[in-house]
């Protein structure tokens, strides 16, 4: 256990961080830091909706009179735009639903709570094993680290599957403390059992177990922060990719409608276009004559 002495200050630091983020929603702070949700919606969805609304407004100002073929084409084009608007709203709802899935999940604070409690025991074990060279304490330290690792994995799994989505914070906290107490009691009982077994046989703790305990004693305190950043980072990337592919078809459809609208405008106002060109040509000739 002497190797752990070098990590005492580091564990104390991350312990303070873990305790600080038991109550606040750390994952939401990370989310807001690395993901500009307002800009994302503006770039991926709202800008296309605004362009579509502008096209539709421009198209309505050219509404033809009568009930001829041109009127029928116009109504069909307006209908396509209205259908496209519904599709955009559906795609936006899909993205909002996924963002809600990322943000509104329980377990992050419980993970920080468990890691904080482990830090207390971890620091205690480091201190006492340097003072008292007792086999019981060494076995307890190894068992506590290994059992805590399994409960950390269990809490992580709860977060990933939204297992506590319908539970309140009090339930999550109580459940987490229960996990920690169970790990603590089992570690104590396991250490006592090992002391009793030493009366009949002498078994050394394997070297790989010592190294594993060293890794877990340092790794578990840092796990909540690392997992939160990794989870949010992957989710943000997935949100971007999901929205990009989910809206690809209707973006192409909007481009097609925009082309149809332009053709309709060209067909609707050919005379205006010619007159405008003639006026421009006349102005150019006048300027040349003046020179």
How does pLDDT run across 42-75, given as a tens digit for each residue? 888 888 888 888 888 887 777 766 566 777 777 8
pLDDT in tens, the chain (291 residues): 555 555 565 566 566 655 565 556 667 777 777 788 888 888 888 888 888 888 888 877 777 665 667 777 778 888 888 888 888 989 889 888 888 887 777 888 888 889 888 888 888 877 777 777 778 888 888 899 999 999 999 999 988 888 787 788 788 888 898 999 999 999 999 989 888 877 777 666 777 888 888 888 888 888 988 898 899 888 889 989 988 898 898 989 888 888 888 887 777 665 444 444 444 454 444 344 444
Domain segments of the chain as ranges: 2-277
Q: Rounded distance, CA 84 to CA 80, Å? A: 6
Tokens representing residue 39 in the block: 């800009």
CA separation for the pair 241, 234 (Å, rounded): 11
Structure tokens of 48? 């296309």
How many residues would you count in the chain? 291
Instruction: For 128-166, give one letter per residue: b (16+ CB within 10 A) or e.
Output: ebeeeeeeebbbbbbbbbbbbbebbeebbebbeeebbee
Q: Which of 106, 49, 110 is nearest to 81 (CA)?
A: 49
- Mean pLDDT, the chain, rounded, equals 79
pLDDT digits (tens, 9 = 90+) for 153-201: 999 998 888 878 778 878 888 889 899 999 999 999 998 988 887 777 7
Question: Collapsing DSSP states into helix, strand and coil, what is residue 275?
Answer: helix
CA 103 to chain centre: 7
């Amino acid at each position: 256990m002497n190797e752990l002495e070098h990590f005492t200050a580091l564990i104390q630091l991350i312990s303070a961080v873990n305790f600080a983020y038991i109550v606040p929603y750390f994952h939401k702070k990370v989310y807001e830091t690395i993901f500009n949700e307002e800009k994302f919606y503006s770039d991926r969805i709202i800008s296309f909706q605004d362009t579509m609304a502008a096209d539709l407004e421009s198209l309505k100002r050219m509404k033809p009179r009568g009930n001829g073929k041109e009127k029928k084409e116009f109504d069909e084009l307006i209908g396509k735009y209205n259908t496209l608007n519904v599709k955009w709203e559906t795609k936006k709802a899909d993205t909002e639903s996924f963002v809600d899935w990322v943000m509104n999940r329980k377990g992050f604070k419980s993970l920080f709570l468990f890691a904080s409690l482990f830090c207390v025991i971890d620091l205690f074990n480091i201190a006492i094993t340097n003072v008292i060279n007792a086999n019981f304490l060494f076995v307890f330290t190894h068992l506590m680290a290994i059992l805590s690792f399994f409960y950390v994995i269990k809490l992580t799994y709860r977060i990933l599957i939204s297992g506590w989505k319908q539970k309140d914070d009090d339930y999550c906290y109580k459940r987490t403390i229960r996990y920690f107490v169970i790990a603590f009691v089992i570690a104590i009982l396991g250490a006592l059992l090992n002391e009793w077994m030493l009366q009949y046989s002498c078994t050394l703790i394997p070297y790989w177990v010592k190294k594993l305990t060293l890794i877990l004693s340092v790794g578990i305190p840092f796990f909540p922060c690392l997992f939160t950043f990794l989870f949010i980072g992957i989710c943000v990337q997935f949100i971007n990719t999901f929205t990009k592919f989910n809206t690809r078809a209707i973006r192409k459809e909007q481009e097609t409608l925009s082309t149809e609208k332009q053709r309709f405008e060209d067909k609707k106002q050919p005379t205006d276009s010619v007159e405008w060109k003639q006026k421009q040509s006349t102005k150019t000739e006048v300027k040349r004559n003046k020179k």
